[in-house]
């Protein structure tokens, strides 16, 4: 079974990615992977710090991740 968190950590640890934000890394982790919307939303809540985004933008950010997930 694929793990979003495992993919997230692998991408984050690659050389050259240390300056990317957590939301960008999460986007790369879910891109074209076919995870359920629930799993993507839970990963977002767990992996992206709340102070990295405005709470009123959360719905739009999740919609973007759902689109990337395919």
H and E: helices and strands count for the chain: 4, 0
pLDDT tens-digit readout, 12-66 = 999 988 899 999 999 999 999 999 999 999 999 999 999 989 999 999 999 999 9
Q: What is the pLDDT of residue 1?
A: 43
CA distance 32 to 53: 23
Look up the pTM and report it: 0.90
Residue-wise pLDDT tens digits, 13-27: 999 888 999 999 999
Q: Look at the chain and count its residues.
A: 70
């Amino acid at each position: 079974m694929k793990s979003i968190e495992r993919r997230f950590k692998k991408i984050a640890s690659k050389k050259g990615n240390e300056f990317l934000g957590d939301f960008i890394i999460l986007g790369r982790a879910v891109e074209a992977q076919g995870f359920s919307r629930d799993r993507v939303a839970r990963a977002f809540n767990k992996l992206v710090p709340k102070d990295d985004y405005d709470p009123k933008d959360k719905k739009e950010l999740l919609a973007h991740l759902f689109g990337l997930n395919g």
